[in-house]
Amino acid sequence: MKIAVTGGTGLLGIALGHSLRGTHEVALVGNTSTAVMEGCASSAADIANRDSIHACLARIGPDAVVHAAAQTNVDYCEDHWKEAVRENVDGSANVASYCAKAGTKMVAVSTDYVFDGTKSFYTEDDSPHPLGRYAQSKLLGEQAARAETDDLAIVRTTMYGWNHRGKKNYAMYFLENLQAGNGIEAFADQFNTPMLANDLADAIKDLLERDSTGLFHAGCKNRVSRVQFAQTLASVFNLDGSLVAPISIREKNFKSPRPPDASLDSSKLQNETGRQTPTLSEGLGRFRQLIESGYKEEAKIVIE
C-alpha cells in the first residue's frame, strides 16, 4: 500500500514513517519542512491551500492518507482563531476532498480535548463538548472530513514521544530535566490516557491494513495525572521521582481552558484491531528503548 502522511515532519509523522516503511510505501508530507528518513519519500505542501495539497497528493498517488498535520498549540489557537480554522478545519476538508475525488482512504487524527472533562474514560458514543478554540477547531475538522468522504477513520488521542523537530512535549521536558537532576512541577489534577506516538502509529497501521472506518479512541490503559506520568517516567528511566512536585492546574493562567479529565476508553479500537493498547509503563518502556537504540537519529528535518 502507498501511504501519504501529512504532518510528516512532526511527532506522529516520523513515528508513522518508522512503523509503516518496512511493509508499505510511505511519503512524508511536510509544510515548510521535509523529513529525510531512510525508506520514506518526502514532499511539502500547504494543507490549508486546496490546490497545493491536492497537487502534492496527486503526484504521490497514495492508496491512503493519514492526516496528522494540525496547529496543536492550544493557547496559540485561543488568540489566533482564523489560523486555527485554516489549519485544523480547512486543512482537514482539503485532504478529505482529495481523498473523496481520488477514491483514497483517509485516517484523520483528532484530540481528546473535544471533551469537557466532566467524566472519565470517554467512549466514542459520548457527546463532545470542547472548552477552548483549539478543541473547537479539531472537532470542526472532524466534521469537515466527514462531510467530504465516507472512507474515513477518525482517531482521537493524546500522545507523547521523541519529536525530531525539537519541539518539546511534556514527556521530553520531564525526561531532560530529571536526567539533569532538576526539579519539575506537574499537574496533580489533570488526567488523560497518554499514548506513545509509536504505539499510536502501530494502531493506525492496523486500521489501515483492516480498511477500518468510523470513530476510534486511542489511549494507554491507565488514566493518569501529569504527576503520575512524570513519576512513572522517572521509574522507567531509573531517575529520581522525588524531583517531581505536584501542583494544581488552577495555579497556571492558561489562555485556553483545559479539560480536567480527557481520559479515553480504547475498547472499540482494541476490538477492531485485535491489539491491546499498552499500559503507561509499557509505553514509557518502549520510549526508553527507542531512545537508546538511536531513534533520535533516524530522521533529519530540513527547513525549506
pLDDT digits (tens, 9 = 90+) for 95-116: 999 999 999 999 999 999 999 9
Rounded distance between C-alpha atoms, residue 283 and residue 232, angstroms: 11
What integer pLDDT is reported at residue 167 of this predicted model? 79
Q: Tell me the DSSP string of 113-136.
A: GGS-SSSSSB-TTSPP---SHHHH
Average pLDDT over residues 164-175: 89
Rounded distance between C-alpha atoms, residue 213 and residue 229, angstroms: 31
Q: Is the pLDDT of residue 304 over 90?
A: no
Q: What φ, ψ does residue 195 adopt, rounded to 5°?
A: -120, 135
Average pLDDT over residues 145-151: 98
Q: Give the CATH superfamily of 2-167+195-221+262-281+297-303.
A: NAD(P)-binding Rossmann-like Domain (3.40.50.720)
pLDDT digits (tens, 9 = 90+) for 181-195: 999 999 999 999 999
pLDDT digits (tens, 9 = 90+) for 64-83: 999 999 999 999 999 999 99
Rounded distance between C-alpha atoms, residue 181 and residue 237, angstroms: 13
What is this structure's pTM? 0.96
Q: Is the pLDDT of residue 131 over 80?
A: yes
**Confidence label for 179 from pLDDT (cuts 50, 70 and 90):** very high
* 232 Cβ contact partners less than 8 Å away, ≥ 6 residues apart: 224, 280, 281, 284
What integer pLDDT is reported at residue 65 of this predicted model? 99
What integer pLDDT is reported at residue 303 of this predicted model? 67
What integer pLDDT is reported at residue 85 of this predicted model? 98
Please state, rounded to an integer, the average pLDDT across all residues of the chain. Answer: 96
Average pLDDT over residues 240-252: 95
Helical residues (DSSP H) of the chain, grouped into ranges: 11-20, 50-60, 74-79, 81-85, 91-102, 133-148, 170-179, 197-209, 226-236, 267-273, 280-292
* 61 Cβ contact partners less than 8 Å away, ≥ 6 residues apart: 2
**Confidence label for 55 from pLDDT (cuts 50, 70 and 90):** very high
3-state secondary structure of 35: strand
143 CB neighbour count, 10 Å cutoff: 13
For the chain, give the number of residues: 304
Average pLDDT over residues 200-221: 98
Rounded distance between C-alpha atoms, residue 30 and residue 45, angstroms: 6
Average pLDDT over residues 136-155: 98
What integer pLDDT is reported at residue 166 of this predicted model? 77
What integer pLDDT is reported at residue 53 of this predicted model? 98
Percent of the chain with pLDDT over 70: 99
Tally the C-alpha atoms within 13 A of residue 169's C-alpha that lie toward its C-beta: 19
Average pLDDT over residues 170-177: 96
Average pLDDT over residues 252-279: 96
Look up residue 245 and give its three cell numbers: 512536585
Task: List, in sequence order, every residue forming a beta bridge with 44; answer none if it has no partner.
Answer: 30
**Confidence label for 26 from pLDDT (cuts 50, 70 and 90):** very high
